[in-house]
Each structure stands twice: as structure tokens, then as C-alpha cells.
Amino acid sequence: MSGFELSCPVPLPTEERILLAHGGGGRLMHELIERVFLAAFRDPALEARHDGAALEVDGVRLAFTTDSYVVRPLFFPGGTIGELAVNGTVNDLAMCGARPLYLSAGFILEEGLPLETLRRVIEAMRQAAQRAGVRLVTGDTKVVDQGHGDGIFINTAGIGLIESPLAIGPQRVAPGDAVLVSGDLGAHGVAILSVREGLEFESPILSDTAPLWEPVEALLRAGIEVHCLRDLTRGGLASALNEIAQARGLVISLEEAAIPVSEPVKGACEILGLDPLYVANEGRFVAFLPASQAERAIEILRSVPVSSGAARIGSVLEEAPGAVVLRSRVGGRRVVDMLSGEQLPRIC
Amino acid sequence: MSGFELSCPVPLPTEERILLAHGGGGRLMHELIERVFLAAFRDPALEARHDGAALEVDGVRLAFTTDSYVVRPLFFPGGTIGELAVNGTVNDLAMCGARPLYLSAGFILEEGLPLETLRRVIEAMRQAAQRAGVRLVTGDTKVVDQGHGDGIFINTAGIGLIESPLAIGPQRVAPGDAVLVSGDLGAHGVAILSVREGLEFESPILSDTAPLWEPVEALLRAGIEVHCLRDLTRGGLASALNEIAQARGLVISLEEAAIPVSEPVKGACEILGLDPLYVANEGRFVAFLPASQAERAIEILRSVPVSSGAARIGSVLEEAPGAVVLRSRVGGRRVVDMLSGEQLPRIC
């Protein structure tokens, strides 16, 4: 929260109502979090604005995180709400530099849901947990009356063990850092939207949902001095980088030509009117680390299948105030802002 | 899970659908958990069938638990969904004999929700967290379109520290144990139902929602050899005791005359056609401990305000098979079964 003043937040007018955009990962969501949640709970762990909380319990360093999943439809090319619910929380732990260990799962089921649908989702969760090497150890089930839910909502929370002595988080991002991305962007959002819009592509675009601890562990084991990690979910690359740039009062400069986007995703984004920089991913992250280690870090990432498409996409500059700027293919320079709402509701 | 065989569960027919009763805390919910969740995830922590998982991370003993809250209405006499969401998870940790430390909170908001409603709920959570001595350290917000949610659903997960060397859990319940209850039963369920039914009582019946670590800590500090603890939420006393009796293959014998139910709750239950043994509580628990320590344990519990109405209500007998029996006021003996569905949907 460096650079923000929480002691006297501007109150939102009381007649305001929640909009879909409050859940979209953009500016409205961040305002809601600042003004309602952070203002009430005021906790250093919350104010670190990380993907999870880094805690010390009896001398052991833990990461703790939670996410709810309300994606629609429940089944989409490349995955289900079940994989998302496991991988999303596993990845938030990984972004804290923590080895994912334990998950909880809370289900809110809508009356009338076919049991077979639930079984398929549970099976996807089981496989995803196995792949990610986490144990699902505690859970809860609630049922709401028909018309007051939407099939299945899942919340997962996770506990991870921080083994590395590095303090990984937005507070460590520094001028001179290289900005790396772990692979091509936009597949998850496009996969979801193509189902909703009934679009069919020659080769279907699959969600990138995947666990990300393996590449993070590889970086840490190799002694890379990772400063900050962030997975690129709701709001995509643009929102994740804006959050960090604004929190730290630094400029993040990106090279458009270096940002990996696959041809099918590029084409689909053009048809659908989406900007891949803002589209959600469920198996991609950015890493901030000293520029001198960037080349080696990319080599390490590329040796792990899930991050085989890793690339350096930019740098952190000394300039203020906090912003993300993009040097376009033709050489122009434009500000990449945070969206005020969202491109796609219920993407995760 | 002692006494249960999970390796070849009877499959539920695939055309079956989720009913409200699957969330009611009764037999249907337990079947769903056994056959779908436990069968898929098979983990010793889940199979302990406790209110949370007891874990060891790097030599530190932790409890980890989660619950989603879908109570309707959001505001009711004596509390809101906010207090429930904090106290419920705090209490599940306390039932593991763990000092509640950290909470996560995941919100699923319905489009159109007045922001003022959210603020009131958040303020209730803040106060409840303060009262319970826990920190809310990480969170998440999702928004679903109008008609696919119901105002606010909250999931909380919690981490607690197990300081006592005792292994508290159903596996420790033994013949000869005394069964204690921490106070009078049924207030939460009656408070909720009275709002729903538009009933007004001379003196309003308030939900008993409250954090329960203080009385548990008092028992442990005094060296009481606590065998098992369970809070009496969905399904009430009858369901909690049936779960334990069946899991352990023991008979729990209750004295009807000893079970504390306040006069207003008794009266309301008669009007509403409820049996207080099955009505949900949000600030009451049962404790199993050696009969020789029962008197002292009651004294200790009564010295803490939230458990000032503690009483011994029964004993664990050697007999099999697992069942709960009640000796009625007039001397008869009847089996107190688990409900198949629920008395009250969306009670928490």
C-alpha cells in the first residue's frame, strides 16, 4: 500500500450498487477493494496487495490465499471450473514464492444441479490437485434454492510454505528490473468467450489453465533473485502491471513486439473486439527480476513445459508517476491504462 | 472414517439432482459428502470427519478449515451473515483445539446489491474478527449477474495453531465419556425462521452467534482432557451427535431433562413445529471428556460468559451399533435419528 493513504477514504455514495464491473479486475474492482475492504480490515498483510498473505506462524513462513470461482460456462475448451479452482489458488501461492501444500474447497450448489455435473467437476479438481501436488484437506457444501445460484460456485483457499529467504512481492520491484512473461497471452479468455458466443475456430483455442509452482521453483532453485511474481488472471497483463506500477510509483515500459500472443488468439481477439493485453489467463505469470539475470531466467523458464514460451517483454524505469507504457511495433509510445470495468464478466 | 468403507461406494444414480436437503446437515448431505467428495479426494485429513483438518507444516501443528455462508435473510435478530462468516470459521478452528489466528474471505456479490448492504456486512465482520482476536489477511471478490446469486455469499477459511498436545477429535470419544453442552439450544435457527415467517415474539429471540475459542482455551488451560469438541450448527445437536456415534460405533445417551432450551425458544419451536434438538446454533458446542472431570469442566465453562449455561446432558455407552438415544422426561427411551433432509434451508 505504499503511496496510498487509507486513513480517510473518500466514501462511495450510499445509493451506489454493485455492478458486474466491480468483479472485472479493473479500476472499479480496485476502488471497491480499497474503499470498502481494505478500509475496514486494515491489515499489513492485506495492504501488501499481493496475491496472498505472507504470514509467520510459530517461526514457520506460510502463504495463505483464497479465490472464489464463478466462471460461466462450467465446462469450456481446455478445462472446467474444477481445474480453475485448484490451479488458481495453487498459482496465487506460487506467486508468493510458496510451495503449495493444502487446499480447502467450499461448494455453493444450486438446487436442481445434476449430480453428474458435480461429479465431473470434482474429478477435474482431483486430477488438478494431483498434478499440482497439493492435498485437498477440508471442505464445505451449501445448497441454495433454484434461481439464487448458478450451478456451481467454488471457493478454494490454500496454504503454502515459503522456503526461500527472498521476500517476493510488489515492494521489491525496482528500477532496472526486467519484466518477463511466462508464455503467450489470452488463451483462457478467448476459450471462454468463444463458447459463450458459439464461435468455432479451425483449431479450437484451449484455456491455458495450469499450475505454476514448477517454473517458480525452478527460478528459485537456480538462485534467481526474483523480486515479484504475479499471475495474469482477471484484467490480464495490463491490469496486473498497472496495479504494481501504481502501488510503487514506477513506470513499467513494454515492447509490443516482444509480447507473445499466438496467431489463433490474435485472430480471435480481432473478431471479438478484445485486446489481448486485457484478456484473462489462468496459467501465465509475469516475473520482475534484475536485468542482469533475465537471460538465465528465460532459459530456466523455457526448460519447464508450462513456461516454454517465456519472453522478456519490458523493463522498470525510474520515472514517476506509476504507469504502464507500451512501445508499439511502429515505434509510438502509449499509456496502457487499467480498464475501468471488465472485458468479460465471470471469466474465472 | 473408522467403521466406513470408502473403496467401493454405492454410486448415486446419474440422473439424480441436487436438492436443498443436500445442504441441510442431515443424512442426504452426509451421503453426498461420503459418496462424491470423500470418494474422490481420499485424504486422511478429510476422512477424520472433523470440523477442520489438523496438519503439520514444518513441525508446526495447524488447523485449517472452510465454510461458505448463504444465510437468508442477510440481517436477522442478533447478527448478520458477516458475524456468522467470522464466528463459524473461528469456531471450527476452536473445535480442533486450535487458537484461531488468520481468516480469508471470499465474496460472491450479486449485481445490483446496494453498496450500503455490503458495508454493513463488512463492518459486522470487522467487529467479529476483532472480538475473536483473528486477523483477516487475504480476500477475493467476484460479481455474478442479477438472478444468479442472492445478494452476498461469503466464504471464509481459517488457520489456527494447535498448541495443546491433545489429539482432539471423534477418534478419541470413548465409552464412559461425559457429554457436555455449552449452553441453551436453538436460538439461532429460531431467530432466522422468525424473520422469514414474520413472527414477532414478546421478547425477540436473538441468534446465539459468538466465537467459542475462549471457553475451549479455558478447558485446555485447566488441564481438562478434552476428547472431542463439535459446534452445533446445521442439523443441531442431534446431527452432530449422530455423526460421532455412527463414526465411532458407540451409543450416546442423553437425558432430555438436562438439555437446556430457553422458554422463549421452546415456545417458538412449538409454534413453528421444530424440534430444538435439530435446530442450528452458531455459538454452542458439545464436549466429550472423562466423566471424572465433568464437574470441573462445567464449572470452568460456566465461568466464561459465552458458555455460562453449560450443562452435562449425557454419556457415551459401550453399546453398539452407533446411535443417539434420549431418556425422555417421563422415563421412556427413544432413538434420536439424523434428519434425512433439513428443517431449515439456508440457515447459515
CA distance B64 to chain A (A): 7
In a domain, B68, yes or no: yes
Judged against a pLDDT cut of 60, whether residue A10 lies above it is answered with no
Query: In this complex, which of A20, A101, A138 lies closest to B145 when CB atoms are compared?
Result: A20
Kindly state whether A9 is in contact with chain B, defined as any CB-CB distance less than 8 angstroms: no
Which of A141, A162, A183 corresponds to the end of one domain? A162
Are B145 and B200 members of one domain?
no
C-alpha cell at B108: 460472491
Q: If you average pLDDT over residues A309-317, what whole number do you get?
A: 97
Range in A333-342, B21-30, B101-110, B223-232 with the lowest mean pLDDT: A333-342
C-alpha cell at A79: 478445462
Cis before B44 (ω within 30): no
Where does residue B335 rank: exposed (0-12), middle (13-18), buried (19+ CB within 10 A)?
exposed
Q: How far apart are CA B44 and CA A135, in angstroms?
A: 10
Q: Count, in order, helices (H) and strands (E) of chain B.
A: 10, 14
C-alpha cell at A138: 477440508
In angstroms, how far is CA B10 from the centroid of its own chain? 28
CA torsion angle B25 B215 A139 B239 (round to 10): -20
In a domain, A313, yes or no: yes
CA distance B93 to chain A (A): 12
Pair B149, B110: CB distance under 8 Å: yes
Query: Who's near A5: CB < 8 A, 6+ residues apart?
Result: none
> Phi, psi at residue A225, to the nearest 5°?
-85, 75
Query: In this complex, which of B22, B149, B159 lies closest to A159 when CB atoms are compared?
Result: B159
Are A88 and A150 members of one domain?
yes
Identify the DSSP state of B224: -
More confident residue, B75 or B342: B75
A47 contacts on B by Cβ (under 8 Å): none
Pair A89, A157: CB distance under 8 Å: yes
Are A103 and A209 members of one domain?
no
Share of chain A above pLDDT 70, in %: 95
Kindly state whether A18 is in contact with chain B, defined as any CB-CB distance less than 8 angstroms: yes
Are B78 and B218 members of one domain?
no
Q: Which of B137, B145, B161, B233 to probe the A interface (max A CBs under 10 A)?
A: B137
Confidence grade of residue B308 (pLDDT, cut at 50, 70, 90): very high
Range in A83-97, A113-127, B21-35, B157-171 with the lowest mean pLDDT: B21-35
Confidence grade of residue A3 (pLDDT, cut at 50, 70, 90): very low
In a domain, B205, yes or no: yes
CA distance B326 to chain A (A): 29
Judged against a pLDDT cut of 70, whether residue B3 lies above it is answered with no
pLDDT digits (tens, 9 = 90+) for B214-256: 999 999 999 999 999 999 999 999 999 999 999 899 999 999 9
Judged against a pLDDT cut of 50, whether residue A185 lies above it is answered with yes
Are B229 and B96 members of one domain?
no
Helix B263-272 to helix B187-197 angle (10° resolution) is: 50
Pair A325, A336: CB distance under 8 Å: yes
pLDDT value of residue B201? 78
Q: B313 lies in which domain range?
A: 170-335
Are B231 and B326 members of one domain?
yes
Kindly state whether A149 is in contact with chain B, defined as any CB-CB distance less than 8 angstroms: yes
Are A100 and A229 members of one domain?
no
Which amino acid is it at B341? G
pLDDT digits (tens, 9 = 90+) for A61-120: 999 999 999 999 999 999 999 999 999 999 999 999 999 999 999 999 999 999 999 999
Pair B300, B167: CB distance under 8 Å: no
Look at the block and give the residue holding cell 498483510.
Answer: A45
Which of B162, B178, B205 corresponds to the end of one domain? B162
Are B181 and B329 members of one domain?
yes
Question: Tell me, what CATH number does B227's domain have?
Answer: 3.90.650.10
Question: Tell me, what CATH number does A94's domain have?
Answer: 3.30.1330.10
CA distance B189 to chain A (A): 16
Say what the ipTM of the complex is: 0.94
Look at the block and give the residue holding cell 475459542.
Answer: B213
Question: Do A157 and B46 make contact, defined as CB atoms within 8 angstroms?
Answer: no
pLDDT digits (tens, 9 = 90+) for B40-68: 999 999 888 888 999 999 999 999 999 99
Q: What are residue B54's DSSP bridge partners?
A: B63
Which amino acid is it at B60? V
Half-sphere exposure of residue A237, counting CA atoms within 13 Å on the CB side?
30
**CA distances from residue B289 to A10, B120, B179 in whole angstroms, order as listed:** 53, 40, 7
In a domain, A316, yes or no: yes
More confident residue, B66 or A10: B66
Kindly state whether B140 is in contact with chain A, defined as any CB-CB distance less than 8 angstroms: yes
Q: Does residue A106 come out as left (phi exceeding 0), alpha (psi in the -120 to 50 range) or beta?
A: beta
Range in A63-67, A222-226, A337-341, B68-72 with the lowest mean pLDDT: A337-341
Are B153 and B252 members of one domain?
no
A129 contacts on B by Cβ (under 8 Å): 41
More confident residue, B62 or A197: B62
Are A179 and A156 members of one domain?
no
Query: Who's near A221: CB < 8 A, 6+ residues apart?
Result: none
Q: Which of A137, A154, A163 to probe the B interface (max B CBs under 10 A)?
A: A137
Kindly state whether B18 is in contact with chain A, defined as any CB-CB distance less than 8 angstroms: yes
Identify the DSSP state of B34: I
Q: Is B225 helix (H, G, I), strand (E, B) or coil?
A: coil
A141 contacts on B by Cβ (under 8 Å): 22-23, 29, 32-33, 37
In a domain, A118, yes or no: yes
pLDDT digits (tens, 9 = 90+) for B326-347: 999 888 999 999 887 666 789 9
Q: How far apart are CA A84 and CA A346, in angstroms?
A: 12
**A-proximal residues of B, 103-132, CB under 8 Å:** 104-116, 118-119, 122-123, 125-126, 129
Q: How far apart are CA A299 and CA A310, in angstroms?
A: 8
Q: Mean pLDDT, chain B, as a whole number?
A: 92
Are A175 and A310 members of one domain?
yes
pLDDT value of residue B106? 98
Query: Helices in chain B by DSSP H: which ranges?
Result: 27-32, 39-41, 44-47, 81-95, 115-132, 187-197, 213-221, 236-248, 263-272, 294-302
Number of domains in chain B: 2
Where does residue B60 rank: exposed (0-12), middle (13-18), buried (19+ CB within 10 A)?
middle
Question: Do A108 and B153 make contact, defined as CB atoms within 8 angstroms?
Answer: yes
pLDDT value of residue B10? 52
Three-state SS for chain A is: CCCCCCCCCCCCCCCCECCHHHHCCCHHHHHHHHHHHHHHHCCHHHHCCCCCEEEEECCEEEEEEEEEECCCCCEECCEEHHHHHHHHHHHHHHHCCEEEEEEEEEEEEECCCEHHHHHHHHHHHHHHHHHHCCEEEEEEEEEECCCCCCCEEEEEEEEEEECCCCCCCHHHCCCCEEEEECCCCCHHHHHHHHHHCCCCCCCCCCCCCCCCHHHHHHHHHCCCCCCEEEECCCCHHHHHHHHHHHHHCCEEEEEHHHCCCCHHHHHHHHHHCCCHHHCCCCCCEEEEEEHHHHHHHHHHHHCCHHHCCCEEEEEEECCCCCEEEEECCCCCEEECCCCCCCCCCCCC
Confidence grade of residue A47 (pLDDT, cut at 50, 70, 90): confident
Q: Mean pLDDT, chain A, as a whole number?
A: 92
pLDDT value of residue A241? 97
C-alpha cell at A263: 496467431
Range in A9-18, A118-127, A150-159, B315-324 with the lowest mean pLDDT: A9-18
**A-proximal residues of B, 52-81, CB under 8 Å:** 52-53, 55, 57-60, 62, 64-70
More confident residue, B26 or A158: A158
Q: If you average pLDDT over residues A264-283, what whole number do you get?
A: 94
Which of B144, B162, B180 corresponds to the end of one domain? B162
Are B273 and B187 members of one domain?
yes
Q: If you average pLDDT over residues B143-164, what whole number do you get?
A: 97
Confidence grade of residue B4 (pLDDT, cut at 50, 70, 90): very low
